[in-house]
């Protein structure tokens, strides 16, 4: 049982990475072999519309044919039993590299067929983890539940199962006094980090564990 965790944040050891680490610990507790990869360590493109994966009789087997530094990660994702993708919210969407990764992950397993869109025979439980400045109360006002659940919808259709987890009101800088910021209060952020973030990490742990259990149950 392999569980792959994909960090779509440029920062290591910050909010998104920490949420993924916790989810990976949960997956490991449920018996999975886990790995975290960092998208910003690689120079890669999104889908280039080559359509090699849609050619009649193609042998891509659901793997993107365009070869670049992302290829080994896509191979790992294709072999994984669980895939968890974490991203900060940048201007209401996942980061650019996260989107590029999702295009390359999803398009080759999308069938352009009237009889069904899915080519995968087994269920691969997936999840999106988002971290953001936005507070939980503000989320509906800025339409995030709708905007951010679009990816989970596509993942669910193609891989058979998907969940979305949010970590809101995250701490963006270690020392707010250094930055020209009046929109966010450093003391509030520090308090939220101390009180809420451990709960978010616990939720991520539970998510990782649950997805591995689902991978077993759903493929029996």
Ligand X SMILES: Cc1cc2nc3c(=O)[nH]c(=O)nc-3n(C[C@H](O)[C@H](O)[C@H](O)COP(=O)(O)O)c2cc1C
Q: With CB under 6 A as the contact rule, which of the stretches 6-14, 106-114, 152-160, 187-195 interacts with ligand X?
A: 6-14
DSSP secondary structure letters along 123-182: ---EEEEEE-SS-TTTTTTTTHHHHHHHHHHHHHHHHS-EEEEEE-S----S-GGGS--S
In Å, what is the CA distance from 78 to each residue of 83, 108, 122, 123? 9, 10, 11, 12
Shorter beta-carbon distance to ligand X: residue 63 or 89: 89
Q: With CB under 6 A as the contact rule, which of the stretches 52-60, 90-98, 116-124, 205-213 interacts with ligand X?
A: 90-98
Which one of residues 53, 73, 82, 89 is an interface residue with ligand X (CB under 6 A)? Answer: 89
Q: With CB under 6 A as the contact rule, which of the stretches 55-63, 84-92, 121-129, 209-217 interacts with ligand X?
A: 84-92
Considering only CA atoms, which of 209, 219, 48 is closest in space to residue 123?
Answer: 219
Q: Which residue has the tokens 């209060």?
A: 185
Helices (H) then strands (E): counts for the chain:
6, 6
**Site map 128..167 versus ligand X, x via CB under 6 A:** ---xxxx---------------------------------
According to DSSP, the residues that pair with 100 across neighbouring strands are none
Q: How many residues form the binding site for ligand X (CB under 6 A)?
A: 17
Residue 98 makes contact with ligand X by CB under 6 A: no
Shorter beta-carbon distance to ligand X: residue 16 or 34: 16
Cβ pair 207, 26 in contact under 8 A: yes
Q: With CB under 6 A as the contact rule, which of the stretches 83-91, 109-117, 150-158, 188-196 interacts with ligand X?
A: 83-91
């Amino acid at each position: 049982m392999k569980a792959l965790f994909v960090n779509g944040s440029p920062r290591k050891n910050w909010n998104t990475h920490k949420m993924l680490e916790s989810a990976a610990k949960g997956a490991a507790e449920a018996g999975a072999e886990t790995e975290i990869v960092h998208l910003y360590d690689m120079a890669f493109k999104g889908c280039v519309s080559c359509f090699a994966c849609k050619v009649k009789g193609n042998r891509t087997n659901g793997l993107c044919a365009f070869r670049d530094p992302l290829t080994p990660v896509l191979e790992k994702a294709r072999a994984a039993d669980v895939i968890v993708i974490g991203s900060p919210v940048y201007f209401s969407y996942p980061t650019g590299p996260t989107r590029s990764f999702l295009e390359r992950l999803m398009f080759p397993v999308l069938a352009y067929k009237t009889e069904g869109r899915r080519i995968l025979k087994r269920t691969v439980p997936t999840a999106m983890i988002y971290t953001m400045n936005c507070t939980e109360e503000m989320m509906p006002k800025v339409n995030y539940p709708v905007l951010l659940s679009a990816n989970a919808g596509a993942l669910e259709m193609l891989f058979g199962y998907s969940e979305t987890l949010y970590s809101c009101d995250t701490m963006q800088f270690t020392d707010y006094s250094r930055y020209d910021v009046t929109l966010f209060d450093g003391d509030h952020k520090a308090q939220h980090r101390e009180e809420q973030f451990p709960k978010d990490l616990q939720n991520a742990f539970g998510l990782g564990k649950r997805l591995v259990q689902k991978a077993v149950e759903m493929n029996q």
